[in-house]
Amino acid sequence: MDAMETNLKRMGEFFSEGPTRLRPHYKNHKCVALARRQLAHGAVGITCATLGEAEALARNGIRGILLANEIAGPVAIERFVELSRITEIMVGVDNAHTVAALAAASTHARVPLHVLVDVNVGMGRCGVLPGELVLKLAQFAASKGLHVRGVLGYEGHCVRMEPGPEKVRAAHEAMDRLVRSAELLRAHGLPAPIVSGGGTGTYDISGRFPGVTEIQGGSYLLWETDYAAVCPGFEPALSLLGTVISRTGNERLILDVGLKEISGERGVPVLKNAAGARLRKLNAEHAVVDILDSNFPAQVGDQMEIWARYSDATVNLHRKMYGVRGDRVEETFLIED
């Protein structure tokens, strides 16, 4: 709890000092109680990645939701329409097919729908190429009756670069593409009050770039060891508690924690407070720990903690998180979606 609150306060203070605001990413923790804490510390709304996340936020009364992703198909669009009936929500668009489908659904349901044009600022995933194609799609959306609120873009290709001039240059180039696209919309009479980008790994660069109005950072709250080298200043807050179920002499331990409980996509997680042992491998249901010091005390039945290397993909494997202060469980956090 202390580490989480330190991270919450630090990010809140950063965005209280400049014109850019924070719309943190719900996918990091999937917990409405933590989203409320972020809003209480100055966030202008909450970003999410899926319709399921948006629905969890909406049914708990959260407003100012940004679905920073594309949707497609009649089922997804109908779900978005239903969400738009009950809360303030926007969605990213990057193609005319979805724009036309959203517009038709909006007309049929008599529900106004709000969109941001998704701009490919260099990551090469979703998004329209900057410039004229952004303007063309925004004009088409407006002509079909959708409410164009601005642009969004994610400089994901920058967030895990080592700190330094190259990272600053790459992030500035990405945000320049985003801001110039918004300016092009305004120059042609289209409103673009929202210019939304960024992540935790570039929050202090993109969050000070002129013209960017909000940043979607999320990982800062729970933190993760994968980010530690590229974005220092936050504290790891999310760990998993495992039990030693086997010990082979002074060679290895086996914990009852595997890939079904903790993410391994971005490398092997690290043991917490366990000098003398190293987590070497994750299997489906087991963690293989090498004993480096023959005096390492852990025995069968003892518990050990593992820092999450990738918090987003660890949280979604569970239904609860426990907020610990000192040696006491202070609060139980429900993972909604």
Q: How far is CA 28 from CA 31, 116, 201, in A?
A: 9, 22, 13
Q: Which residues, in sequence order, are CB contacts of 228 under 8 Å at separation 6+?
A: 236
pTM of model > 0.85: yes
- Give the per-residue pLDDT at 90: 98
pLDDT tens track, the chain, 337 positions: 999 999 999 999 999 999 999 999 999 999 999 999 999 999 999 999 999 999 999 999 999 999 999 999 999 999 999 999 999 999 999 999 999 999 999 999 999 999 999 999 999 999 999 999 999 999 999 999 999 999 999 999 999 999 999 999 999 999 999 999 999 999 999 999 999 998 999 999 999 999 999 999 999 999 988 888 788 899 999 999 999 999 999 999 999 999 999 999 999 999 999 999 999 999 999 999 999 999 999 999 999 999 999 999 999 999 999 999 999 999 999 999 8
The residue ranges of every structural domain in the chain are: 2-227, 239-307
The CATH class of the 239-307 domain is mainly beta
Four-way CATH pick for 2-227: 3.20.20.10, 3.30.70.20, 2.40.37.10, 1.10.10.60:
3.20.20.10
Q: What is the CA radius of gyration of the chain?
A: 22
CA nearest neighbour of 103 among 127, 50, 130, 139: 139
Q: How are beta strands 194-197 and 147-152 bridged, if at all?
A: parallel
**pLDDT, position 232:** 87
User: How far apart are alpha carbons 219 and 313 in whole angstroms?
Assistant: 11
Residue 129: which region, alpha, beta or left (left: phi > 0; alpha: psi -120 to 50)?
beta
How far apart CA 116 and CA 123 sit, in angstroms, is 18
Q: Which residues, in sequence order, are bridge partners of residue 270?
A: 307
Rounded Cα–Cα distance for residues 58 and 52 (Å): 10
| Three-class secondary structure assignment of the chain | CHHHHHHHHHHHHHHHCCCCEECCEHHHCCCHHHHHHHHHCCCCCEEECCHHHHHHHHHCCCCCEEECCCCCCHHHHHHHHHHHHHCCEEEEECCHHHHHHHHHHHHHHCCCCEEEEEECCCCCCCCECCCHHHHHHHHHHHHCCCEEEEEECCCCCCCCCCCCHHHHHHHHHHHHHHHHHHHHHHHCCCCCCEEEECCHHHHHHHCCCCCCCEECCCCCCCCCHHHCCCCCCCCCCCEEEEEEEEEECCCEEEECCCCCCCCCCCCCCEECCCCCEEEEEECCCCEEEEECCCCCCCCCCCEEEEECCCCHHHHCCCCEEEEEECCEEEEEEECCC
Decide if 20 contacts 214 (C-beta within 8 A).
yes
